[in-house]
Amino acid sequence: MLTQAQRAIITATVPILEQGGEALTRHFYQNLFRDHPEVLPYFNQAHQHSGEQQRALANGVLMYAKHIDQLDALGGLVSVIVNKHVALQIRAEHYPLVGASLLQAIREVLGEEVASDAVIDAWGAAYGQLAEILAGEEGRIYKEKAAAPGGWSGARDFIVQSKIVESAEITSFLMAPADGRPVLDFAPGQYIGVLATVDGVSMRRQYSLSAASNGQTYRISVKREQGGKVSNHFHDHVRAGDTVQLTPPSGDFVLQDGDKPLVLISGGVGITPTLAMLAAALRGKRPVHFIHAARHQGVHAFRQQIDELAARHPQLTRYYCYAEHAGAHDAPDAVGLLSKERLAQWLPASRDVDAYFLGPQPFMRAVKQYLRELGVPEQQTHHEFFGPAAALN
């Protein structure tokens, strides 16, 4: 429990974090990887290189410091962190390692004068409090997932049943557990963790589940990223019959029950969680507007499946937008980037809808702004990032 004086110190540190949070977290990660190389496999080095993870952590720490007196206000952020940690299988014993590196970084970056013993004590107590919240919630979820039907803890072996090319860049992998037993159900929109060894290095990534939950198999659909380690490994080396290791489904970008019209907007490989959401929504009666943007037909995955669903389900209307017009046969509904005017035509007339969107960050920033300007209530829009969370405003 933090004392009043410690709370005051944390609050007073907010401006310093606002200015130098990323430098602090960069230094923190250098310390962590130097002193505890055993945690390296949990971290995606591309997110370190781009600075996205430093920004996400700095923002997390800042939000925490700002809300130290009203931790309930952190709700959404805690949920994103906990779900990501669960997919990565971060355990309570990791927290002291991270805590030690963080305190050391605060001391080294701020200097002895600012980072007095009292400041370090306050941050030590504050970190302990946050670690307790996160590790407590994560521990509860691990137990829940292990005890649920088809559930497990840690990594579980799955056999690749089939490998299906969906477009020039995206390939699906259908996987069933090696032990032949059922698998945990998941909520539409959730993702699984994948453990892979590439060139002798152990790595962890997350992939959205791209087909409805069926208790037997999981399907992921992986885009080949230029220079990407795990995606290229899957495309080039993982074949039907191979064993892969998965952690249980996780994630809070999930389709909420409701009867308002549903709008699913995706760009590129951001389509994957919306496929599971679409399958779930089509079991009910709500109208669904499925809007997908791709560069061109060659990289447009799942078009045939969506067209077939639209033909069978009158409640589903689909719209495709291609950045480039390739030829007479590609027949998108619009050419160019998804614009506000186009979106206005493709949304239901009433803007009282539930909207879910995902894609490259510039696409997400534009969609968020358009939805706001077109009158879709902010609390009815949902999004997720295929990487560390970032600001969209």
Ligand X SMILES: Cc1cc2nc3c(=O)[nH]c(=O)nc-3n(C[C@H](O)[C@H](O)[C@H](O)COP(=O)(O)OP(=O)(O)OC[C@H]3O[C@@H](n4cnc5c(N)ncnc54)[C@H](O)[C@@H]3O)c2cc1C
Q: Which residues bind ligand HEM (CB under 6 A)?
A: 39, 42-44, 47, 53, 56-57, 60, 80-81, 84-85, 88, 90, 94-95, 98, 127, 130-131, 134, 388-389
**What is the spatial distance between Cα 295 and Cα 324, in angstroms, rounded to a whole number?**
6
Find the shortest distance in angstroms from Cβ 363 to ligand X: 15
Find the shortest distance in angstroms from Cβ 38 to ligand X: 20
SS3 281: helix
CB atoms within 10 A of CB 119: 22
**What is the spatial distance between Cα 369 and Cα 367, in angstroms, rounded to a whole number?**
5
Give me the phi and psi of 245, to 5 degrees please: -110, 130
> Which of 132, 105, 134, 116 is CA-nearest to residue 22?
105
Number of residues that bind ligand X (CB under 6 A): 27
**What is the spatial distance between Cα 159 and Cα 26, in angstroms, rounded to a whole number?**
38
46 makes contact with ligand X (CB under 6 A) = yes
Amino acid at 350: S
Two structure tokens written together for 332: 């998108």
Find the shortest distance in angstroms from Cβ 202 to ligand X: 12
Does residue 95 carry a catalytic annotation?
yes
- Out of ligand HEM, ligand X, none, what residue 131 binds, judged by CB under 5 to 8 A for its kind, is ligand HEM
* Residue 300: burial class (beta carbons within 10 Å; 0-12, 13-18, 19+): buried
**What is the spatial distance between Cα 4 and Cα 1, in angstroms, rounded to a whole number?**
10
Q: Is the dihedral of CA 31, 388, 196, 93 positive or negative?
A: positive
- Of 138, 166, 169, 384, the active-site residue reads 138
277 makes contact with ligand X (CB under 6 A) = no
Place of tokens 């310093």: 16
With CB under 6 A as the contact rule, the residue among 101, 213, 231, 266 that binds ligand X is 231
Place of tokens 């037997």: 216
386 makes contact with ligand X (CB under 6 A) = yes
With CB under 6 A as the contact rule, the residue among 70, 226, 350, 393 that binds ligand X is 226
- Out of ligand HEM, ligand X, none, what residue 370 binds, judged by CB under 5 to 8 A for its kind, is none
Find the shortest distance in angstroms from Cβ 129 to ligand HEM: 9
With CB under 6 A as the contact rule, the residue among 41, 182, 348, 387 that binds ligand X is 387
Specify the residue, 198 or 212, whose C-beta has the smaller distance to ligand HEM: 198
Length of the chain: 393
- Out of ligand HEM, ligand X, none, what residue 231 binds, judged by CB under 5 to 8 A for its kind, is ligand X
- Of 29, 95, 142, 370, the active-site residue reads 95
Contact call for residues 318 and 311 (beta carbons, < 8 A): no
Amino acid at 21: G
Find the shortest distance in angstroms from Cβ 84 to ligand HEM: 4
Specify the residue, 167 or 206, whose C-beta has the smaller distance to ligand X: 206
Find the shortest distance in angstroms from Cβ 191 to ligand X: 4
Strand order in the sheet with 156-165: 201-208, 191-198, 243-250, 156-165, 170-177, 218-223
Specify the residue, 76 or 375, whose C-beta has the smaller distance to ligand X: 76
Does residue 38 carry a catalytic annotation?
no
49 makes contact with ligand X (CB under 6 A) = yes
Catalytic residues: 95, 138
Query: Which residues form the interface with ligand X (CB under 6 A)?
Result: 44-46, 49, 191, 205-208, 220-223, 225-232, 251, 269, 272, 384, 386-387
